[in-house]
Structure 1
């Protein structure tokens, strides 16, 4: 008869009893799990992953928006601004009435036309043949110089008639003097009068030519002055025009019509430039040291499902030298990136355009580290961007 030292309730809880109940199959599973655990720990230094800095950002044009601002006030004479309208650089989009300047320009233009006629007529008059004692009429544009030529022609005609009379008197006096019928004093007086008439004829011609030459100089100087004045008026008229400064699309257009009044320095609309699309984001001071120009970046565009459309790729082209205040509680370094392609594609070939104003989550791959290094360095903030950094 066997003697029981311990009750059966106690012996059933011993390691020996438990070990006898474990089957060979359960031991194998246990050993496999233990082996996998040690293998995983041993593989930590051998498994490498990409460490990325993440940041929110927006796609925008490479150029800032161009504001259309009226430099003068007045009523609109032309208004052709429509929301989302495509415009070209130099296109006149609106015009403000400029009655006073326009009237002054019209007066200057009329005077310039008249001066051009004067100058053309004077060129003809100065090149006119004045030999002999008669002046022939020539076609002139301006009535002023038609009258001037007629007056000059009358003076020459009268002087020529006087010369003919004095020439006859001189010839007659010479015959009488040769026949000793008159005294020398009478002959000399007649000769002097005849020579004075000849001199007076030449003087009339020279005086008239000098007058015309001086008038030509005056008209040319006035023409230059009026042209300068016209340039000033043209510059002033440009201030009454709203001109597109770049190619792009109109946004934030005011609801105005022809006849409405606008004020000086009033913002009428904005132009979103048609230039290269860029991505801008702000990187915290903690992570900025890992970024450099030329570094690759992946963009998860919020408008497109990441699992279907994938990511847009690009490169860093500029990193700000100084910190920028993003809002009252956040500051960062402005980082500018370019896109390799301005669209995303899915498996069926459909393209999704990346447009200005879309938001994204940028991933900057800054290092490739082993899992062991990540655990050792305690850099879970790289793997989990939702962790808040100390302010």
Structure 2
């Protein structure tokens, strides 16, 4: 109704019949529109100066802080055949509870009396070792006896040799005395013979002197014979002494050889005993592996193997177990460009899947249904998805995380950075500048610093 034309149709209308048209004509819409636009402009201008918390948003999932609290696979250490299951999926088991029972499939272990037979072999070899030890002791005693007897025999032979030397001296003195007697008798016979020729002595006297000479010569020959016999006795004593030394040396060497042979056999038997002990312990430990037990308290999640009589290989996965008690954490992934903004202990706000929440990313204080956390660890190596993993632990000074929260649940986390005006945040994003963040200075206070300044 701009009333441009002079030919207005308004005059022809009866306003009383059209109350709505009458109200519209009476409204001053242009002034009100200006007021509304002005108010909105002022409100928008003031809105730009409101504080805004810079943040890094990232998707993640719930995990555990410690590796031993995460789900784990239970493997069979030995190959075998499943004979009996003692659990089913979803059961709560305690540490040491039996999960299933296996039987042997290798022919080396099928003997039901394998342990007892191995134990008997072990005892037999141990008795063999004891026998060799007793034999070695007997040979040691024999060697000691031979050494003692040899020393006595040597002393006896040495004494006999000394006696022979002394007898040589005695016979030598007798032989020398016999030589002197023979010389004296010979001189006397010559003088007697001269006196006989001169007629001074009778033939009888000469014959007597001749008989004396013959006796002296006989004694000289006898003593010479004794001296030679004594010398032969010395030689015999030396030969006997050498023979005794050689004899007992050979006997001792023979006994020592038998001793070393027994020692070698004993060491071989001890090696067999050690091998049998190892084998027996292996069999004993292996028999304990027929029962697969739970390594810790937890819940049976999924069984990979199933059925009775199914054969499983060595090291093959049997089932998966989830620990009953664990410390929750969030594994979130951030872009490499945001890694310099993160520090251990930095505050995080998290929304969990399944828990309703009203989230204002720029105003975490007015968000509803979010939970607090702190950065616990930052990986030093990039993940397969091209991002860095960050572990977030619960904030002990904030509202506890839901008790019904389970490992593997999804989450959306916000790493809180610096508080800036909204206009600055819009300007930063338009220009593609990195966010600002808080950095802890040497005094322990928070110091606001821009990532560009660090560069």
TM-score (norm 1): 0.54
Distance 2:304 2:84 in 1: 14
SS in 2 for 1:354: coil
Q: String of CA shifts for 1:183-203, please: whole Å, max 9, x gaps.
A: xxxxxxxxxxxxxxxxxxxxx
Greater share of helix:
2
Distance 1:318 1:345 in 2: 20
Which of 263, 286, 297 in structure 1 is aligned with 2:337?
286
Distance 1:365 1:381 in 2: 19
Q: String of CA shifts for 1:129-159, please: whole Å, max 9, x gaps.
A: xxxxxxxxxxxxxxxxxxxxxxxxxxxxxxx
TM-score (norm 2): 0.47
Whether 1:378 aligns to 2:382 is: no
Which of 329, 338, 343 in structure 1 is aligned with 2:393?
338
**Structure 2: runs of 5 or more not aligned:** 1-5, 9-25, 130-262, 359-366, 434-455
What is the aligned partner in structure 1 of residue 60 from structure 2? 57
Distance 1:217 1:333 in 2: 60
Contact 2:371 2:400 in 1 (8 A): no
Cα distance, 1:115 vs. partner? 9.0
Contact 1:54 1:363 in 2 (8 A): yes
Q: String of CA shifts for 1:237-264, please: whole Å, max 9, x gaps.
A: 3554434344332222136244332233
Distance 1:93 1:336 in 2: 33
Contact 2:62 2:328 in 1 (8 A): yes
Contact 2:92 2:300 in 1 (8 A): yes
- Number of equivalences: 274
Cα distance, 1:363 vs. partner? 1.2
Cα distance, 1:49 vs. partner? 1.5
What is the aligned partner in structure 2 of residue 41 from structure 1? 45
Which of 338, 353, 375 in structure 2 is aligned with 1:316?
375
SS in 2 for 1:49: strand
Contact 1:66 1:246 in 2 (8 A): no
What is the aligned partner in structure 2 of residue 108 from structure 1? 118
SS in 1 for 2:387: strand
Task: Evaluate the alpha carbon distance shift between residue 360 and residue 379 of structure 1 in structure 2; reply closer, same or farther with a 3 A threshold.
Answer: farther
Task: Evaluate the alpha carbon distance shift between residue 118 and residue 92 of structure 1 in structure 2; reply closer, same or farther with a 3 A threshold.
Answer: farther
After superposition, the CA RMSD in angstroms is 4.9
Task: Evaluate the alpha carbon distance shift between residue 118 and residue 86 of structure 1 in structure 2; reply closer, same or farther with a 3 A threshold.
Answer: farther
Whether 1:325 aligns to 2:384 is: yes
What is the aligned partner in structure 1 of residue 313 from structure 2? 263
Distance 2:46 2:371 in 1: 36
Larger radius of gyration: 2
Contact 1:344 1:353 in 2 (8 A): no
Q: String of CA shifts for 1:15-51, please: whole Å, max 9, x gaps.
A: xxxxxx999xx97995796477457536744x21212
Cα distance, 1:317 vs. partner? 0.9
Which of 328, 336, 361 in structure 2 is aligned with 1:277?
328
Task: Evaluate the alpha carbon distance shift between residue 40 and residue 222 of structure 1 in structure 2; reply closer, same or farther with a 3 A threshold.
Answer: closer
**Structure 1: runs of 5 or more not aligned:** 1-6, 10-20, 120-213, 383-391
SS in 1 for 2:59: strand
Distance 1:87 1:68 in 2: 13
What is the aligned partner in structure 2 of residue 356 from structure 1? 407
- Any residues of structure 2 matched to 1:134-145 within 5 Å, and which? none
Distance 1:221 1:72 in 2: 27
Contact 1:344 1:354 in 2 (8 A): no
What is the aligned partner in structure 1 of residue 416 from structure 2? 365
Contact 1:66 1:245 in 2 (8 A): no
